[in-house]
Structure 1
Amino acid sequence: MKYLPLLIVFYSCLLHSQKGIVYYGQITSPGMKSPAGPDLNSFLVFDKKESYYVTAKDSLEKSVANQKAIYTGSNDQQVAYNGDKTFRYGKQVYYDRKKDSMWWSQRFRGNIYVSEKRPTIKWKLEKETKKIGNFKTYKAVGEFRGRTYTAWYILEVPLPYGPWKLQGLPGLILEAYDEKKEMYLYFKSLEYPTENKAIISKVQREKGDPEGWKSIQDFEDMLRNSIKRAYNRMVLRAEKKNKEKPNKPIFNEIYIESF
């Protein structure tokens, strides 16, 4: 019996050194007031020290990469996608627990690469549970950059990871969404431990992309300046045609990360 505590410690260390992979679907549809955008495959590969999430990647979406589609939200707004839903390396998020930092890529007039300290999400743990797949999941609600997210996590994998940039809970997040489900991340399957050869990668770059990293403030400024320029062009076109001045766009209805 004296060896039992040592065995418990051994198996606990073994568990946390193992690699896992969870597969999700991701629907991103800002301003649509519902999950009304392209339904893309994604996955999160992780171990005790780090994680890597990727979506909108060419190799994950060969059947839909070049399809044209029109999506209609609950407010009857329509958005057309003309075959540019994916690209070579996709949208990536790499998280290093020891450095407590994230590095990620986003598509914005080319590829943008951002480095930041891990955003702290103040989750409120709820009593409510529900079954997702074969797992009993627990509810948490937290604020992240201007939106309120609901997340469902499991205790079988006691690591603070989740899809996209959502993290910081007592266990792995299987499902998450904001109030309108304009960011909707849902569970498909989990392998833990796994023998899958997917690597926990640092953010990969397209050939010819600039080196270095933008700050999160740089990224926000780029988004806001882009909206401002687009609005000014709309105003000029309206003036030339003697039409009514358009309403100013609302930032958080255009970009999921509304800061």
Structure 2
Amino acid sequence: MKKLGIIALAFFIQHVSAQTNRFVYQVTMKPDAENKADIKTENAYLDISPEKSVFYSENRIKRDSIMQKAFQGGGGRGSVSRDQMENLRTNISYSVEKDKTNQKTYLKDRIGRDSYSYEEDRPLNWKISSETTKIGEYKVQKAETDFAGRKWTAWFTTDLPYQDGPYKFGGLPGLIVKVEDDKGDYSFDLMKNFKIAEFPVLNQFGTPIKVKRTDFIKQQQKFKSDPAAFMSQSGGQGGFATTMRVGGGRGPGGGGNQNPADMKKRMEERVKEEAKKNSNPIELQ
């Protein structure tokens, strides 16, 4: 009987240790280079299991949930109100997955109507300092690195049994509690953590196209410089409809029967406006 109790306890410990842990980070961004006073703040999740971790926007999973319920209810995209989706807009369109087994990092993002995925090919070379302090309840240690055109300072803790962090950051002997660039444009701050049953399924809008990181950047530039041509190459006029039909209603940009030329013009204006608002990306190189 005692032996059975020990076996049951062992299974319980194994089950608990295999659970996924969710770390909630507050992400502070200044994405507009011309207007640094326009500070965007939103929450993002870092879900960690023994095999992998995924970093993504809280608003994104909420949007996906609303859309899923709308389609399951038979209403489709048109049954979702524009205001409802506007309130869940995110500046974190990407997701970052780290494969613990192969020590590889992948970024997934959408350009136009297609999803793309690439493997990060630049290593994070950390310089660990002896400087320590306390952030919240955690004793943390300082580390610095140059990555993608920015100088980053991270504070990591060994109080938690994870060697990970938000975005592409990781590879330190502990969990990153805070990381920010020296210009104060981007900051990730750990707020709380709790256990979840499993990883949520993120809507990828089709199977991501696997490309090299340099090719992904080229595709981004093509889309920004000539969105209409890019959309036509990636699937014709259907691309315009997919991009424009966000939310319900029959107003501008709200679906319905729109003239393709008007849709094209409106899409180009929107892409240019979005590019202007995101002229200070997290990666400068």
Output the TM-score relative to the length of structure 2. 0.60
Counterpart selection for 1:217 from 205, 214, 217: 214
Percent identity over the alignment is 22
Aligned length: 207
2:176 corresponds in structure 1 to 173
Kept after mapping to 1: 8 A contact 2:110/2:116: no
* Cα separation, partners in 2 of 1:180 and 1:111, compared to 1, 3 Å: farther
Report the residue type matching 1:19 in the other structure.
T
* Cα separation, partners in 2 of 1:48 and 1:175, compared to 1, 3 Å: same
Measured on the aligned residues, the alpha-carbon RMSD in Å equals: 3.7
How far is 1:151 from its partner?
A: 0.8
Kept after mapping to 2: 8 A contact 1:45/1:51: yes
1:39 corresponds in structure 2 to 41
How far is 1:42 from its partner?
A: 0.9
1:184 corresponds in structure 2 to 187
2:199 corresponds in structure 1 to 199
Output the TM-score relative to the length of structure 1. 0.65
* Cα separation, partners in 2 of 1:185 and 1:168, compared to 1, 3 Å: same
How far is 1:28 from its partner?
A: 2.5
Unpaired runs of 5+ residues, structure 2, are 1-9, 67-81, 228-274
How far is 1:18 from its partner?
A: 5.0
1:116-166 C-alpha deviation (Å, 9 max, x unpaired)? 146411101112222222111111100111111111111022432100111
Report the residue type matching 1:197 in the other structure.
A
Q: Secondary structure at the match of 1:57?
A: helix
Q: Secondary structure at the match of 1:167?
A: coil
Structure with more of its chain in helix, by fraction:
2
How far is 1:113 from its partner?
A: 2.0
Distance 2:37 2:125 in 1: 25
Describe how 1:20-31 pairs up with structure 2 within 5 A. 20-30=21-31, 31=33
1:62-102 C-alpha deviation (Å, 9 max, x unpaired)? 9xx959xxxxxxxxxxxxxx767239x95311110212222
Q: Secondary structure at the match of 2:125?
A: coil
2:151 corresponds in structure 1 to 148
Select the structure of larger CA radius of gyration. Answer: 2
Unpaired runs of 5+ residues, structure 1, are 1-9, 68-81, 231-248
Distance 1:200 1:151 in 2: 27
Distance 1:229 1:42 in 2: 31
How far is 1:48 from its partner?
A: 2.6
* Cα separation, partners in 2 of 1:33 and 1:151, compared to 1, 3 Å: farther
2:131 corresponds in structure 1 to 128
* Cα separation, partners in 2 of 1:188 and 1:211, compared to 1, 3 Å: closer
How far is 1:177 from its partner?
A: 1.0
Distance 1:44 1:35 in 2: 27
Q: Secondary structure at the match of 1:86?
A: coil
Counterpart selection for 2:142 from 121, 131, 139: 139
Report the residue type matching 1:86 in the other structure.
T
Structure with more of its chain in strand, by fraction:
1
How far is 1:20 from its partner?
A: 2.1
Distance 2:114 2:186 in 1: 20
1:113 and 2:107 matched:
no
* Cα separation, partners in 2 of 1:123 and 1:66, compared to 1, 3 Å: farther
